[in-house]
Structure 1
Amino acid sequence: MTRAEPSRRRVMGAGFGAVAAALTGCSAGSGPVRRLRLATGPEGGPYNAFGRALARAVAASGHGLEIVPVATAASVDNLRQLEDGSVDLALAMADAAEDAVLGREPFARPAPVTALARIYVNYTHLLVPRDGPVRAVEQLAGRPVAAGAAGSGVRVVAGRVLRAAGVDGGAAARERELGLAESVSALREGAVDALFWSGGVPTPALAELTGQRPVRFLPLDGHVSALRERYGPVYTAVTLPAGVYGLTAPVATIGVGNYLLARRGVPDGAVRDLLRVVFDRWRDLLREVTAGARLEPRFAISTGAVPLHPGAVAHYREVYG
């Protein structure tokens, strides 16, 4: 997996000519509107917000596309819907997307999905009550933990962090499959001793929680190496900055990219038109989910083991060289 980036450069270099020659147009005025279903996430969540913002931007672009956001459980659910053809596009965390492409659990076989762009980074949040006894992941053994909804990317990363910390087997935490709103309520009411979340910074629901109950954000950077060794470079060290959530000092944690994905059968021209909108309107799109992020081509093409869609290869090569 460490050789993914050089391989991608070769694809975008020598192989581009053949790809570009095969492109068929799908731009404004060339025919009827093409409707593409986009698997997002739960209502009120960041993926759903991004999907709705993208739908509005595409509708205003005149590119002959219509994006239809579909509410889902998020990453794992989205990838399954993409694989079975229920949707044309999807948002997913990088670790879940690579699991799908490589046929790793929870996927029974490799899924034929492609990437359009790596759009922003999720920050892994682990919150505990400030007045409680837990000060490290290892101390969650035997305790109730809100570990993300079933079918979500949060569920994947939470389980992996707990296993990396040795909080499994006989020392397992009592993981509860809860969505973000349910997780916040459970921590606020004392029904769980910790809350995992993976999302942009700040996540509004967590910002609201920190104003209602004193919490502690636990550092997770000590587990990055173990995760990278087992699952590859989809996991990186990032920092929750001082000031966000009322933090008086930075908190080092784990970053995971988010990909915009497509079925291989989505026409190249539709992909190119969609990416034009994404790069034209990235400030508006990312404002919905995370503060201070930028979308740049060298960042966007870094999709690891998930291959770029041919239309995406053509777009990046044509626009950015």
Structure 2
Amino acid sequence: MDSARWSRRRVIGAGVAAAGAALTGCSGDSGPAPRLRLATGPEGGPYNAFGKALARAIAASGRRLEIVPVSTAASVDNLRELDAGSVELALSMADVAADAVLGREPFSRPAAVTALGRIYVNYTHLVVPADGPVQAVRDLAGRTVAAGAAGSGVQVVAGRVLRAAGLSDGPTAARERQLGLAPSVRALRDGEVDALFWSGGVPTPALAALAGDLPLRFLALDGHVGALRERHGPVYTAVTLPEGVYGLAGPVGTIGVGNYLLARAGVPHDAVRDVLQVLFDRWRDLLREVTAGARLEPRFAISTGDVPLHPGAVTHYRSVYG
């Protein structure tokens, strides 16, 4: 990895040592192990599962570090908690993290957060009953859509897709309901909503279980990637739900969004190094909790766009990968 690439990285260095010393248990080798709170997501969700798996992996590694997963509403909530100092680490979708760093809606000002790395990609699912009238996004005009829990990254990407499709206001607006994954699944099964949005790994177990009970149609979304990138930047990519998953007869193009592991700049470098070493040593086990077939590679991990890498992460990647 050449020095020019690293020179393009924006890192936050001022005050790192002073801020790091303020963290509990981070002043030397004696005393309690450093304790870092990790904002994850709702109980039963993929972020929560990943956070718990990472905490177990850190504990099993024998390192002087404790990770404490904290249940939240997910991405938007996590960035606010991280910026406020209520937690030291957080998980977030890339689009929400970029909005936070740049001070864009729903954030009122830039948030001082850094990244440890991009760890995997979420696939946006837009799901409707297979025997219903909805066959494309435009057919959601005037219909009720489960659009993610309040404070979640799902809510952000769902709202942006609906805006790109001209369904966010006026007589053609879809009626958005703020529901998390489990309530969304129940609402679709019971006919209380006409569609649900979800952003997560493939397969998402709750959707795989639903597909076993109710024939489903997954709507193509890749045609909206260009509009999203033009308006919100390159955090959105075209990806494919593969044939066979959820019983799909063929592949379905959709929208991919990266997931970042984030930290306050004051988290000590040694703690960052320990987290990253365990993350790369155990990535197969950790990602099994959230998505099948994903890989964690350094060249993708450092691609965090507008979100600067934590100085300790920069040092780690340089020392290990050159």
Local SS of the residue matching 1:64: coil
Local SS of the residue matching 2:240: strand
For normalisation by structure 1, the TM-score amounts to: 0.93
Measure how far apart 1:9 and its partner are. Answer: 2.8
Measure how far apart 1:6 and its partner are. Answer: 9.7
* 1:169-221 Cα distance to aligned partner (Å, 9 max, x none): 11210000000000000000100000000000000000000000111000000
Measure how far apart 1:30 and its partner are. Answer: 2.9
Measure how far apart 1:246 and its partner are. Answer: 0.5
Letter in 1 for 2:88: D
Match in the other structure for 1:10: 7
Residue 227 (1) aligns with residue 249 (2): no
* 1:90-145 Cα distance to aligned partner (Å, 9 max, x none): 00000000000000000000000000010000000000111111111111111000
In 2, are the aligned partners of 1:41 and 1:47 still within 8 Å (CA)? yes
Q: Structure 2: which 5+ runs fail to align?
A: 12-17
* 1:34-83 Cα distance to aligned partner (Å, 9 max, x none): 00000000000000000000000000112200000000000000000001
In 1, are the aligned partners of 2:144 and 2:193 still within 8 Å (CA)? yes
Local SS of the residue matching 1:160: helix
Cα distance in 2 for residues equivalent to 1:213 and 1:80:
37
Residue 43 (1) aligns with residue 43 (2): yes
Residue 206 (1) aligns with residue 207 (2): yes
Match in the other structure for 1:114: 114
In 1, are the aligned partners of 2:37 and 2:67 still within 8 Å (CA)? yes
Local SS of the residue matching 1:67: strand
Residue 217 (1) aligns with residue 218 (2): yes
In 2, are the aligned partners of 1:297 and 1:316 still within 8 Å (CA)? yes
In 2, are the aligned partners of 1:12 and 1:317 still within 8 Å (CA)? no
Cα distance in 2 for residues equivalent to 1:250 and 1:9:
37
* Residues 12 and 166 (structure 1), Cα distance of their counterparts in 2 relative to 1, 3 Å cut: closer
* 1:216-238 Cα distance to aligned partner (Å, 9 max, x none): 00000000000000011100000
Local SS of the residue matching 1:151: coil
* Residues 183 and 275 (structure 1), Cα distance of their counterparts in 2 relative to 1, 3 Å cut: same
In 2, are the aligned partners of 1:93 and 1:258 still within 8 Å (CA)? yes
Letter in 1 for 2:289: E
Cα distance in 1 for residues equivalent to 2:68 and 2:9:
30
Letter in 1 for 2:82: L
* Residues 232 and 6 (structure 1), Cα distance of their counterparts in 2 relative to 1, 3 Å cut: farther
Residue 294 (1) aligns with residue 291 (2): no
Cα distance in 1 for residues equivalent to 2:3 and 2:159:
31
Number of equivalenced pairs: 313
Residues 168-187 of structure 1 aligned to structure 2 (within 5 Å): 168-170=168-170, 171-187=172-188
Cα distance in 1 for residues equivalent to 2:265 and 2:6:
20
Measure how far apart 1:282 and its partner are. Answer: 0.5
RMSD of aligned residue pairs (Cα, Å): 2.5
Local SS of the residue matching 2:258: strand
Cα distance in 2 for residues equivalent to 1:188 and 1:169:
26
* Residues 38 and 193 (structure 1), Cα distance of their counterparts in 2 relative to 1, 3 Å cut: same
Letter in 2 for 1:9: W
In 2, are the aligned partners of 1:123 and 1:200 still within 8 Å (CA)? yes
In 1, are the aligned partners of 2:137 and 2:165 still within 8 Å (CA)? yes
Local SS of the residue matching 1:289: coil
* 1:221-264 Cα distance to aligned partner (Å, 9 max, x none): 00000000001110000000001000010000000000000011
Cα distance in 2 for residues equivalent to 1:142 and 1:88:
42
Residues 21-40 of structure 1 aligned to structure 2 (within 5 Å): 30-31=29-30, 32-40=32-40
Local SS of the residue matching 1:60: helix
Measure how far apart 1:7 and its partner are. Answer: 7.3
* Residues 8 and 178 (structure 1), Cα distance of their counterparts in 2 relative to 1, 3 Å cut: farther
In 2, are the aligned partners of 1:128 and 1:134 still within 8 Å (CA)? yes
Cα distance in 2 for residues equivalent to 1:317 and 1:9:
9
Measure how far apart 1:273 and its partner are. Answer: 1.1
Residue 254 (1) aligns with residue 251 (2): no
Match in the other structure for 2:14: none
For normalisation by structure 2, the TM-score amounts to: 0.92
* Residues 134 and 7 (structure 1), Cα distance of their counterparts in 2 relative to 1, 3 Å cut: farther
Match in the other structure for 1:18: none
Cα distance in 2 for residues equivalent to 1:275 and 1:223:
34
Q: Structure 1: which 5+ runs fail to align?
A: 16-21
